[in-house]
Structure 1
Amino acid sequence: MECLSADGLNAHDWDELENKYYRAMEKHKEAEVVLQNHTSELLEIFMVWSQTTIRRDETRALKRFKTQMQHVQHSEESLKNKKKHYIDVVRAFENALALLDDRV
């Protein structure tokens, strides 16, 4: 661009400069809209991915909980059976001792 004097500035086509400015801004606006749309699409994909991950984690947590509950129930049942067995063994010994006492 050449060096302009005060007279050159007055003679400059300011309307053309303004039109160039508006055209350039319009191009930037269009590019911004494209970027906004692309960002929105990526955010939607991220949200779907995020929800999928949350659901998968919830499903896994539920399976872990069910497994833990089964383990606890099995342990309680096993303990109950052991207690019954020990009670039966003690009764058998008591009965055996009672029989021995009756013989003596």
Structure 2
Amino acid sequence: MEEAPNSILEEGSQTPDQDTDPEIVDKFSPTADDISQCPDVVQNLESCNWEQLQEKFVEAMEAHARTEQGLQEQTAQLLGVFMAWSQVTVARDEDRAFKRFKTRMQHVQNSEKKLEDKRKHYANVVKAFESALALLND
């Protein structure tokens, strides 16, 4: 079974030859006035060395690829700096939170100790009053 030359196209879709709308063709087709206004370009295209143009294109693309690679490396370095900064920030926040927790725990423990001391003191005062009452009743 022989495959269609353009097997990517779905059934019912148009091939590039079928979708040539006359308005689009007229819009993008050069007119005689356009060509007469650019005779140098037409002559340059006719005398152009296409292999040399292709080499220049490849060189330009390679230069852009190198520039893009440099930008990617710089972005990766900046991302590394950002990650280190964010980790330091997280560590600092965790350290501060731990210190706040310790301070709160100390405050609660001190408050509990003071409350226990007051309870003992009041218990001793009550015992003293009870013993004083016991002495008065005897």
TM-score of the aligned structures, taking structure 1 as reference length: 0.88
> Aligned to 2:42, what secondary structure does the other structure show?
coil
Counterpart selection for 1:40 from 66, 76, 82: 76
Question: How far apart are 1:99 and its partner, in Å?
Answer: 1.0
Question: How far apart are 1:17 and its partner, in Å?
Answer: 1.1
**Residue 3 in 1 paired to residue 44 in 2?**
no
Question: How far apart are 1:16 and its partner, in Å?
Answer: 1.2
Residues 73-92 of structure 1: CA deviation (Å, up to 9, x unaligned): 11111100000000100111
Question: How far apart are 1:100 and its partner, in Å?
Answer: 1.0
Question: How far apart are 1:101 and its partner, in Å?
Answer: 1.1
Gaps of 5+ in 2: 1-37
> Aligned to 1:84, what secondary structure does the other structure show?
helix
Letter in 2 for 1:26: E
Residues 18-63 of structure 1: CA deviation (Å, up to 9, x unaligned): 1111011011011011111111111111111111111111111111
Moved over 4 A (4+): 8-11
> Aligned to 1:4, what secondary structure does the other structure show?
helix
Matches within 5 A, 1:1-104: 2-4=40-42, 9-102=45-138
Higher RCO structure (Cα 8 Å, ≥6 apart): 2
Gaps of 5+ in 1: none
> Aligned to 1:3, what secondary structure does the other structure show?
helix
TM-score of the aligned structures, taking structure 2 as reference length: 0.67
Letter in 2 for 1:69: M
